[in-house]
Amino acid sequence: MQIFIKNMVCNRCISAVEDVFRNSEIDFVSVNLGWGDISTEISKNQFEKLNENLKKLGFEILEDASQKQIENIKKLILEKVQNLDINEEFLLSKYLSEKLNKEYSSISKVFSQTENITLEQYFILQKIEKVKELLIYRELTLSQIADKLGYKTVQHLSQQFKKITGFSPSQFQELKEKKRLPIDLI
């Protein structure tokens, strides 16, 4: 049985949810971004207690089908951005349609209505957050970052970065105190 969980965005989230399952004495097979596989049915009381414990850590069990789809979409986008393997020809519409086996128009409509932001805007925000992270770590040049995140030019990345953050990438690097938004708040 799968339990879909909202706001899981990284490996630390997976570890935290595993701990909640253990502490709730619920046998689980595995925990992944966005869901946990449990080996047996759980009672309504266990379910409510599990959800209560997850909420204490900023997570929440999803019961609505459209919310499950939204979390799956977010997970796919996060994984794509985190893997730094976006080429110039990457099409978000094609990627999501293939991964979810659904028409992009229906995916996009559900996402926009639920999240009050378009999929493309969400994707761009995730990429910009990754750019911030990479700029802070100074492991890659701006040109390498642009290449790994699918920007055709460094100028395009810089323009998009400035439009969203109000800073050029170099200004951002100089502002060490500028804090990144947690991914789950975007």
pLDDT in tens, 46-102: 888 988 999 999 998 887 778 888 988 999 999 999 999 899 899 999 999 999 999
pLDDT in tens, 7-17: 888 889 999 99
Question: Where is the domain boundary, 42, 63, 84?
Answer: 63
Same domain, 88 and 171: yes
Same domain, 38 and 87: no
CB contact at 8 A, 161 and 128 = yes
Question: Where is the domain boundary, 39, 63, 87?
Answer: 63
- From 157, 135, 136, 137, select the one nearest 146 (Cα to Cα): 157
For the chain, the distance separating the N- and C-terminal CA atoms, rounded to the nearest angstrom, is 29
Give the angle subtended at the CA of 119 by the CAs of 114 and 125, to the nearest 5°: 110
pLDDT in tens, 18-37: 999 999 888 889 998 888 88
For 86, residues 6+ apart whose C-beta sits below 8 A from its C-beta are: 80, 127, 148, 149, 150
What pTM, to 2 d.p., does this model score? 0.73
What tokens appear for 172 in the block? 């951002």
Same domain, 58 and 77: no
Looking at residues 143-152, what average pLDDT do you find? Answer: 95
